[in-house]
Structure 1
């Protein structure tokens, strides 16, 4: 199978552990690598309050965006692992957008 590029949006449960965000992100990237993926970039976003509270004890989460490469079967394995991970509240995997090659545009003839 062909290796594809994916984007994972992680909402981390940081209640009471604001200083431990780097360690949680390191654990998440290690899980991706151990499952056979190759992490390209990690973008730490910020803590955001949820518009709709899913759990009474959790009203905000720290967002992180991780772009990685892997086999398509990798996603099912990662979903199973992260659903059991106590520090990952939600995760969303999508195909990473293809890079757009920019070139010189020719002016339209009048």
Structure 2
């Protein structure tokens, strides 16, 4: 199993409960796919570096996890089809 980290930004117009539900949804995708979540770091609402679709801020969340090489592909697919996700990034942790 390899170590990965994902950072995703959710739309700021979402309610707090919806943001938490999305974080739990992504955590569930990782755990149900055979991975283990090492850490979830919620950064809260922050200003974006540049405007995306007329949005200037978003809810940032960082998740560190361990999984096989197929799980990031599935997680990427889930990020793409989930409403409210402005941007996401999944990288392999080289540490």
Structure 2 spans left out of the alignment, 5+ residues: none
2: CA distance between counterparts of 1:17 and 1:49? 17
- The structure with the greater share of residues assigned to strand is 2
Structure 1 spans left out of the alignment, 5+ residues: 99-110
Q: 1:85 aligns with which of 74, 82, 87?
A: 82
Alignment-derived partner of residue 39 in structure 1:
37
2: CA distance between counterparts of 1:96 and 1:71? 13
Give the structure-2-normalised TM-score. Answer: 0.86
Deviating beyond 6 angstroms after TM superposition, the runs of 4 or more aligned structure 1 residues are none
Distance 1:34 1:87, change over 3 A: farther
Higher relative contact order (CA 8 A, sep 6+): 2
